[in-house]
């Protein structure tokens, strides 16, 4: 757990470079009065089920963010952890054909940057 508060509206679970994007999103949202928790999933096997379930219950919205294709990665591990829970699950992952660019350009292109995380949090708040 990197960041959390009693007012968290969502929990973002990220790994690698997307942790930094999640922390940027957390700061942007906090300035708007919206709080989110951020978990660094530095390990998928084993995944920290206890922490994920705790924050899923607390917030009702779990967002997994990863910098590779969705199958077999962080999102699948989180989804399995949430099996049977009544929570909103959003999975931000690489879904387009790769191209060249800077890290920032590629994170934006794949919708896995801070802006995409903020959007995912805000959309759930508008359309619960």
Query: 100 to each of 45, 108, 116, 121, how far by Cα in Å?
Result: 30, 12, 20, 28
* pLDDT of the residue at 126: 64
What mean pLDDT value characterizes the chain? 94
Nearest CA among 75, 78, 37, 32 for reference residue 59:
37
pLDDT of 127 strictly over 60:
no
Per-residue pLDDT tens for 49-72? Answer: 999 999 999 999 999 999 999 999
Percent of the chain residues past pLDDT 70, beyond the cut: 97
Nearest CA among 49, 112, 119 for reference residue 85:
49
Q: Which CATH class is domain 8-12+29-126?
A: alpha beta
pLDDT of 25 strictly over 60:
yes
HSE of 54, CA atoms in CB hemisphere, 13 A: 11
């Amino acid at each position: 757990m990197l960041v959390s508060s009693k007012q968290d509206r969502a929990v973002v679970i990220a790994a690698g470079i997307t942790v930094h994007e999640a922390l940027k999103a957390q700061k942007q949202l906090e300035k708007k009065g919206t709080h989110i928790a951020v978990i660094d999933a530095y390990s998928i096997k084993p995944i920290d089920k206890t922490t994920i379930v705790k924050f899923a219950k607390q917030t009702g919205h779990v967002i997994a963010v990863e910098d590779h294709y969705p199958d077999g990665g962080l999102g699948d591990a989180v989804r399995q952890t949430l099996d049977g829970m009544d929570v909103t699950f959003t999975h931000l992952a690489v879904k387009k054909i790769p191209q060249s660019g800077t890290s920032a350009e590629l994170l934006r292109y794949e919708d896995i940057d801070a802006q995409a995380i903020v959007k995912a949090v805000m959309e759930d708040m508008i359309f619960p």
